[in-house]
Amino acid sequence: MFGIDILGTGIYTPSIRVTNDDMAKIVDTNDEWISTRTGIKSRNLTDGEPTWKMGAEAAKQALENAGIDGSEVGLIIDTTVTSDFMTPSVACLIQREIGAANAAAFDLNAACSGFVYALDTAKRFLQTDDNLKYVLVVANETLSNFVDFSDRSSCILFGDGAAAAVVTRSEKLFASFLGADGKGSVALYAKNAPVYHPFRKTEKNLMETNEFAAGTTKLIQDGKEVYKFATKALPEAASRAAEKVGLDISEIDWFIPHQANIRIIETAAKNIGVSMDKFIVNIENHGNTSSASIPIALHEAIAEGKIKKGEKICLVGFGAGLTMGAVIMEY
């Protein structure tokens, strides 16, 4: 089977640790509500370091752990939803920072499913380009850029952070499923500010004539809708990936789900009939870091010696779009 091997991972955790008690100083909330409804105890926020900088630090660590020099990387895929620039891509800024002069570079936006989408993309590039040896996937998010810190139902959920992985081709097990439901885009979004060029005739902000909320570029979320989607998407994506290679869900050693809410993970585990003991969970310390959440959890689980070489892992995500995806592979 054509598969991929993860040669090394790295993470970057920004310096400002914000506890639930800290959150209670800015919105009407408390540790008990946040802990019981979400499983989150604290999250880390940037002190102004840009998204690309966090990604570059995680990438350097991943390269070091993989024993690869930046110059050997042939492709960089960055999964951020919080790019520092309209252009260039964050992937190009990371390429510059880590000396990956031989790498093509682009960003891929699949929100919190981004890392899963990028692993699948990396595998397809490796499969079709014999000259490509190493792909660097970077997931870096500064959600504090667009989180509405006056909205208690959403601001308590999110954190900033970055993770990276170096992957190469292998003959190991690989299966993936990627999906999207654009009708659900209204459930979770953040708009760009409207732009008026000098020749424009319409003064009305056309973005605000449809169902997307007016007058804000902050994150808008229908928590209940996203919750409903997530508890179905996790089992569905994992099952559909497993089906492709005739694998029974019970044969998977570890599930590394997107870390959005402990109750979503618990409900999804129940729906798929898998014990929570098989789920890697670190939401308590990081909150939801969008596309960075799965690779941060993966890196920590590897570092703790939980996930061992040869074990079957299922990385499974869902997020804005709405998107969902799963990759099943042998570590």
**Sites of contact with ligand COA (CB under 6 A):** 29, 33-34, 37-38, 112, 152-153, 156-157, 221, 223-224, 226-227, 230, 260-261, 288, 319
65 given a catalytic annotation: no
Name the residue with the smallest CB distance to ligand COA: 223
CA distance 55 to 79: 10
Catalytic residue among 112, 140, 261, 286: 112
Cβ neighbours of 275 (radius 10 Å): 10
Per the annotation, the verdict on 258 as an active-site residue is yes
Catalytic residue among 44, 92, 140, 258: 258
**Phi (first) and psi of residue 270, to 5 degrees:** -65, -45
Minimum CB separation from ligand COA for residue 319, in Å?
4
Question: Which is it for the CA torsion 186, 138, 8, 288, positive or negative?
Answer: negative
95/289 with CB nearer ligand COA? 289
Q: Between residues 40 and 166, which has the closer beta carbon with respect to ligand COA?
A: 40
Integer Cα distance of 38 and 51 in angstroms: 25
Active site residue 155: no
The structure tokens listed for 12 are 């970057």
Extract the tokens encoding 214. 């007016």
- Please, what is the minimum distance in Å from the beta carbon of residue 185 to ligand COA? 13
Query: Nearest approach, Cβ of 224 to ligand COA (angstroms)?
Result: 5
Q: What number of other Cβ atoms are within 10 A of residue 214's Cβ?
A: 10
Query: Which stretch of DSSP H or E encloses residue 57?
Result: helix 51-66
Decide if 196 contacts 205 (C-beta within 8 A): no
* 27/104 with CB nearer ligand COA: 27
The smaller minimum CB distance to ligand COA, of residues 142 and 221, is found at 221
CB of 153 to ligand COA, least distance (A): 4
Catalytic site positions = 112, 258, 288
